[in-house]
């Protein structure tokens, strides 16, 4: 009887370990852009990665905000079992703030970094603005058509709406 108890307690322990590992399992998704930069996401079992139109959409969890990335700027997508030490979808660890958003004439990006490498893409993936700016410096967007754009600044992607 004592041997059966130890056997069942070991089996229960192993089952709980596997349940814990698979319950919190994540897939690392590394996206390499043609610019040479990479962005990493940790997608949980409740999250999803899918295509809509000409965009790759990434949701790290069922209730997280999705990130839309134009397919035309993606060079490679790599899947791994490792949890990535880079940013998760919906998180902005650099605390970049883009304002005003929406805007008509200019935007500014507030950052702790002294220099910002900024690229603005339309939803077709075409680079429409590129440059190096200081924190809180005006970025002229007056010539852009009204619509949704993706602003990449120092490895962080933020959605921007042009009125």
Q: Which domains does the chain have, with CATH numbers?
A: 2-80 (2.30.30), 97-162 (2.60.40)
Secondary structure of the chain in HEC code, one letter for each residue:
CHHHHHHHHHHHHHHHHHHHHHHCCEEEEEEEECCCCEEEEEEECCCEEEEECCEEEEECCCCCCCEEEEHHHEEEEEEECCCCCCCCCCCCCCCCEEECCCECCEEEEECCCCEEEEEEEECCCCEEEEEEEECCCCEECCCCCCEEEEEEECCEEEEEEEC
Instruction: Return the pLDDT at 131.
Output: 94
- Report if pTM > 0.75: no
Q: Tens-of-pLDDT digits for all 163 residues of the chain?
A: 555 554 544 444 444 444 444 444 677 888 888 877 777 888 887 888 888 888 888 888 887 778 888 888 888 888 877 655 444 334 455 678 889 988 999 999 998 888 999 999 887 778 899 999 999 999 999 999 998 888 888 878 888 889 9
Supply the pLDDT for residue 157: 82
């Amino acid at each position: 009887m004592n041997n059966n108890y130890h056997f069942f307690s070991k089996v229960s322990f192993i089952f709980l370990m596997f349940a814990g590992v698979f319950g919190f399992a994540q897939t690392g998704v590394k996206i390499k852009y043609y610019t040479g930069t990479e962005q990493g996401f940790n997608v949980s079992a409740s999250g999803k990665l899918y295509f809509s139109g000409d965009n790759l959409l990434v949701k790290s969890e069922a209730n997280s905000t999705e990130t839309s990335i134009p397919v035309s700027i993606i060079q490679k997508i790599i899947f791994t079992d490792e949890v990535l030490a880079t940013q998760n979808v919906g998180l902005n660890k650099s605390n970049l703030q883009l304002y005003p958003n929406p805007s008509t004439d200019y935007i500014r990006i507030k950052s702790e970094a002294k220099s910002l490498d900024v690229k603005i893409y339309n939803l077709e993936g075409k680079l429409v603005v590129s440059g190096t700016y200081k924190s809180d410096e005006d970025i002229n967007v007056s010539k852009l058509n009204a619509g949704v754009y993706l602003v990449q600044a120092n490895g962080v992607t933020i959605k921007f709406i042009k009125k």
